[in-house]
Each structure stands twice: as structure tokens, then as C-alpha cells.
Structure 1
């Protein structure tokens, strides 16, 4: 199993930082970036290889590749997304379809979270689970969050931002454990998703799998501090908690 980071997005709401950097390289603790924190987590759980999907301002990631490898003791492979500024991240994850065949822990490139999330997912492996989503069942939800409804023993029933928060079981935080045996089915679902609409999320690919009868499991992460950084308010929150990790 290896790490996988989606870091192709432009993050325009974080300008001026993202005028020259992808969102994953925005600093959250001194010179420490969101990507640094994710790589640190991966190294701490014993991973030795990480693939990073890059697109917008990808040269900034290429420039730092060797330094990041040396700092975290990881072998990094960069996967180019040729449509990063045109299409949404269902296509971005599909670009890593060969990587998925090795089994991955996937982390969005804009999520600041503690290593306990990865540890929780690893501890939940087994019993035939092929895809396990990290779920926050504590946070009070609003309209912007990627919300999930689950059913006892059946996993995810619905995953979308477009639902009444009061009906949701919790929020998907942007970290998933994907076993190798799920790779081909997931890649096919992602392809169907972006071919239907290039603006769809990879979470819509998860929903496609559910519609096909595939069980997508979840694992609650407990009461931990994390944030998805989309705008400057989120960045301020990220900087408050990043120094704790």
C-alpha cells in the first residue's frame, strides 16, 4: 500500500498564495505546507512511497520533489493531470488509476488532519472491506460539506454536498483507504462519472459504485480537529490546528 495525494487543483479562493502555487503547497505552519503534513502522516504510518497527482502550477511540486523525498524518507511519483484547470477531481483521481492497483491511502491535497485518521482507517481494514471513507460524525454540518448517509451493515447510501445536513450521518473528510482489489471497479466508475459531467467530484464516483451495488464502507474518526482549506477563513483555522500536528 502506498500514499496518494490529489494536488492538482488551482484553489483560486486562496489567492494570492495560489497565483504561483497549487493549493497543497500553501503554508500552514511557518514554511510547512498542507502537503508536508500529509507526507509526514504517511511516513509516520510506515508508508515508503507516495504518488501525487499534479496539474495547476505543477512545476512548484516538481521543484520541491527531491527535498520532500529527503525530508520524509519517501519515494515520490508525480502523476500529471492534463485537465486540472478544466475538469473536476473525478478525472484527477482517474489519472491515478494505475496507482490504485497497488492499494492506497488517498488524501485530498487541501485537508489538514492528524495522523490518527490514517491509523483509524488502517485499523478498520479487513472483513472484505474494499473502500473505507474517513467520516466525521461529530461536526455540525452545513451546505458546503461533503455529506454522507449510511445504513447499518450496508455502508454508504448517499454521498453529496447536495443534501439536507440534518439527514446526514456525517462528513467525508477527504481521506480514503482503497484496497487494490477495488482499483478496476473504481476506475471504471470514475470514468463513467467524468464522461457524464467533467465537473463532478470523485465522490460522485463513489456514488456511482454504490448505485452499481458496490459496498463503500465508512469509519468514524472521532472528535479530532481537521479542516478542508478552500478559502482564507479555512486557512486561518488550518493554521490554528496545524501547529498541533
Structure 2
């Protein structure tokens, strides 16, 4: 199994930081970036081979590749997303389809979180589970969150932002464990998703899988401090959290 980071996004709501950097390279604790946190977490759980999907301002990641590898003791494979500024992240995850066969622990490049999340996902493996989503079942939800409805026996039933928060079991926090045997089916679902609408999320690809009868499981992360960084308010929260790790 390897680590996988989606770091192709522009993060326009974080300007001026993202005038010259992808969102994943915006500092959250001194010089530490979201990408640094993801790589450090992967290394701590023994995933030292990491693929990173890059797109917007990708040259900044290429320039730092050797430094990131040395700092975190990892080997990086950079995967280009040629449509990062035009299409949403269903296509971005599809760009990494060739590494699915190795099994991946996926982390969004804008999620500040502790290594306990990776540990929880790895500990949840087995019993025929093929895809496991990290789920926050503690946080109070609002309209913007990626909400999930779970059936205890059947797994994920719905995953979308467009849901009454009161209906949701919890929030998907942007980390997924994908076993090798799920790779081909996931790639096909992602392809169907972005071909239907290039602006859809990869979570819509998960919904496509569920609609096809594929079981997607979840792993509750407990009462954990984390944040998805979309704007300057989120960045301030990320900086408060990151310094505690």
C-alpha cells in the first residue's frame, strides 16, 4: 500500500497565498504545509512510497520534491493532472488510477489532521472491506460539509454536500483507504462521473459505486481536531490545529 495525495487544486479562495502556490503548499505551521503534514503522517504509519497528483502551480511541487523526500523519508511519484484548472477532483483522482492497483491511502491536499486518522483507517482493514472512508461522527454539520448517510449493515448509502445535515451519519473528512481489488471498479466509476459532468467531485464517484451495488465502508475517527482548508477562516483554524500535532 502507498500514500496518495490530491494536490492539484488552485484554492482561489486562499489568495494571495495561492497566486504562486497550490493549496497544498500553503503554510499552516511555520514553514510546514498541508502536504508536509500528509507526508509526515504517511511516513509515521510506514507508507514511504507516495504518489501526489499535481496540477495548478505544479512547478512549485516539482521544485520541492527532493526537499520533501529528504525531510520526510519518502519517495514521491508526481502525477500530472492536465485539467486541474478546468475540471473538478473526480478527474484528479482518476489521474491516479494506475496506482490504485497497489492499494492507496488517499488524503486530500487541503485537510489538516493528525496521524490518528491514518492509523484508524489502517486498523479498519479486513473482513472483505474494499473502500473505507474516514468519517467524523462527532462534529455538528452544516450545508458545506461532505455529508454521509450510513446503513450499519450495507455501508455508505449517500455521500453529498446536498443533504439536510440532520439526515447525515457524519462528515467525510477527505481520507480514504482503497484496497487494490477496488481499483478497477473505482476508476470506472470515476470515469463515468466526470464524463457525466467534469465539475463533479470524486465523492460523486463513490456514490456511483454505491449506486452500482458496491459496498463502501466507513471508519469513525473519534473526537479529533481537523479542518478542511478552503478559505482564510479555515486557514486560521488549520494553524491553530497544526501546531498541536
Q: TM-score, normalised by structure 2?
A: 1.00
2:102 aligned counterpart, secondary structure: coil
Per-residue Cα deviation, 1:93-150 (whole angstroms, up to 9, x for no partner): 0000001110000000000000000000000000000000000000000000000000
Q: Which aligned segments of 4 or more residues in structure 1 are displaced greater than 4 angstroms? A: none
In structure 1, C-alpha distance between the alignment counterparts of 2:110 and 2:54, rounded to whole Å = 13
Deviation at 1:158, TM superposition (A): 0.1
What aligned pairs does 1:29-40 form with structure 2 within 5 A after superposition?
29-40=29-40
2:78 aligned with 1:78, yes or no? yes
Distance in 1 between residues matched to 2:163 and 2:17, nearest whole Å: 32
Counterpart of 1:95 in structure 2 is 95
Q: Which residue does 2:135 correspond to in 1?
A: 135
- Extract unaligned runs of 5+ from structure 1: none
Deviations 1:184-231 (A, max 9, x none): 000000000000000000000000000000000001000000000000
Distance across 2 between alignment mates of 1:47 and 1:106: 11
Match of 1:3 in 2: 3
User: What does residue 160 of structure 1 align with?
Assistant: 160
For 1:198 and 1:222, how far apart are their aligned partners in 2? 33
The whole-number CA distance in structure 2 between the counterparts of 1:179 and 1:201 is 20
- TM normalised by structure 1 equals 1.00
Counterpart CA distance in 1 for 2:77 and 2:244 is 28
Q: Match for residue 192 of structure 1? A: 192
Q: Secondary structure of the equivalent of 1:52?
A: strand
CA separation in 2, counterparts of 1:85 and 1:18? 13
Counterparts of 1:3 and 1:186, CA distance in 2: 17
SS at match of 1:215: coil
Q: CA deviation at 1:48?
A: 1.5
Query: For the residues of structure 1 that align with 2:166 and 2:61, how far apart are their CA atoms?
Result: 39
Q: Which SS does the other structure have where 1:129 is aligned?
A: coil
User: What is the RMSD of the two structures over their aligned residues, measured on CA atoms?
Assistant: 0.3
Count of aligned pairs: 245
